[in-house]
């Protein structure tokens, strides 16, 4: 069992109860990092992740959060401070802005309501949650924002989602510039198509889509969560301390 001491690093991961977020949380725990993660509605799954992390000898806490509802962020930060205090700490080290939802519609079919919902989760929420947590993140910490291969490759039906992920990539560079004085590095990780329950399990469960994605990927298959979580965890280590303000696509070489 890994020693739990005050020298261990602490990460906050949004959307950590499922998919890529869950894999990231578990990968961080394997690397000796304690984790506070958020879930939207499924407390039972969140509890399973907490148990899995604790079985690895790390501390874990799950907090409910709708990352599209900025009005709840102050209370969330108070909860984070309480957990940190219980762990004998005042600061956390890493923030992974992972939580997100999918949306597939053409430009002509996209509604204002759905665009606003995507904006609140994928951009406004990322901006203001990071802002609210800045007093609590340690100097020399690291932030990873999740983007998508769809910010680079224009796939019909993904205009709203892909555009907002592109905005996150620009925001990442601004964050890196403004937070550099505190020694905080900020990067974007952009996964390609991954076999999870995202988009209703479309890539994972639809053989035709799975085959199509594999055919346009240099390494010849679709991605799996284990391709992403360990990469994000490694980006937060000292080995990558000089990587900053970068967009790193993790897609096996899609649409080259």
**DSSP secondary structure string, 57-84?**
T--EEEEE--TT-GGGHHHHHHHHHHHH
Does residue 104 share a domain with residue 151? yes
Is 51 inside a domain boundary?
yes
Does residue 108 share a domain with residue 206? no
Taking the CB of residue 169, how many other CB atoms lie within 10 A of it? 18
Distance (Å, whole) CA 159 – CA 19: 23
pLDDT of residue 89: 98
What range does the domain containing 216 cover? 197-224
Query: What is the CATH classification number for the domain harbouring 124?
Result: 3.40.50.720
pLDDT of residue 198: 63
Q: How confident is the model at residue 111 (pLDDT cuts 50, 70, 90)?
A: very high
Residue 4 confidence (pLDDT) above 60: no
Question: Averaged over 96-118, what is the pLDDT?
Answer: 96
pLDDT of residue 207: 80
Is 184 inside a domain boundary?
yes
190: helix, strand or coil: strand
Mean predicted lDDT score pLDDT of the chain: 94
Is 26 inside a domain boundary?
yes
Q: How confident is the model at residue 199 (pLDDT cuts 50, 70, 90)?
A: low
Does residue 213 share a domain with residue 149? no
Does residue 85 share a domain with residue 170? yes
Residue 1 confidence (pLDDT) above 50: no
Region of poorest pLDDT, from 143-147, 190-194, 200-204, 224-228:
200-204
Q: Is the dihedral of CA 107, 188, 25, 130 positive or negative?
A: negative
Residue 100 confidence (pLDDT) above 80: yes
Question: Averaged over 74-97, what is the pLDDT?
Answer: 98
Which one has a higher pLDDT value, 59 or 194? 59
Is 152 inside a domain boundary?
yes
Instruction: Establish whether 119 is a catalytic residue.
Output: no
Question: Averaged over 221-230, what is the pLDDT?
Answer: 95
Q: Are 38 and 13 in contact (CB under 8 A)?
A: yes
Does residue 152 share a domain with residue 208? no
Number of independent structural domains in the chain: 2
Is 255 inside a domain boundary?
no
Does residue 147 share a domain with residue 54? yes
pLDDT of residue 147: 98
Does residue 207 share a domain with residue 91? no
Catalytic residue among 39, 103, 119, 161: 161
Does residue 125 share a domain with residue 23? yes
Residue 241 confidence (pLDDT) above 70: yes
Is 5 inside a domain boundary?
no
Is 78 inside a domain boundary?
yes
pLDDT of residue 7: 80
Does residue 137 share a domain with residue 22? yes
pLDDT digits (tens, 9 = 90+) for 21-73: 999 999 999 999 999 999 999 999 999 999 999 999 999 999 999 999 999 99
Does residue 219 share a domain with residue 153? no
Q: How confident is the model at residue 75 (pLDDT cuts 50, 70, 90)?
A: very high
Q: How confident is the model at residue 202 (pLDDT cuts 50, 70, 90)?
A: confident
| Residues contacting residue 120 through CB under 8 Å, at least 6 positions apart | 68, 69, 70
Does residue 219 share a domain with residue 126? no
Is 3 inside a domain boundary?
no
Does residue 209 share a domain with residue 148? no
């Amino acid at each position: 069992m890994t020693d739990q001491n005050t020298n261990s690093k602490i990460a906050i991961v949004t959307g950590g109860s499922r998919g890529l977020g869950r894999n990231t949380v578990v990968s961080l725990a394997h690397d000796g990092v304690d984790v506070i993660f958020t879930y939207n509605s499924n407390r039972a799954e969140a509890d399973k992740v907490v148990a899995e992390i604790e079985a690895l000898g790390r501390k874990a806490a799950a907090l409910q959060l709708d990352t599209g509802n900025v009005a709840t962020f102050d209370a969330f930060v108070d909860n984070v401070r309480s957990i940190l205090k219980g762990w004998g700490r005042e600061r956390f080290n890493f923030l992974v802005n992972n939580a997100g939802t999918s949306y597939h519609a053409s430009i002509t079919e996209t509604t204002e309501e759905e665009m606003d919902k995507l904006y609140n989760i994928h951009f406004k929420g990322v901006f203001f949650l990071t802002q609210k947590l800045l007093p609590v993140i340690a100097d020399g910490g690291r932030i990873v924002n999740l983007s998508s291969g769809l910010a680079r490759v224009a796939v019909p039906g993904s205009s709203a989602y892909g555009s907002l992920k592109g905005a996150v990539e620009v925001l990442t560079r601004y964050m890196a510039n403004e937070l550099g004085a505190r020694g905080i590095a900020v990067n974007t990780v952009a996964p390609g198509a991954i076999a999870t329950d995202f988009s209703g399990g479309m890539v994972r469960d639809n053989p035709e889509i799975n085959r199509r994605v594999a055919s346009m990927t240099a390494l010849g298959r679709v991605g799996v969560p284990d391709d992403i979580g360990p990469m994000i965890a490694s980006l937060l280590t000292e080995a990558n301390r000089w990587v900053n303000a970068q967009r790193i696509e993790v897609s096996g070489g899609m649409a080259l």
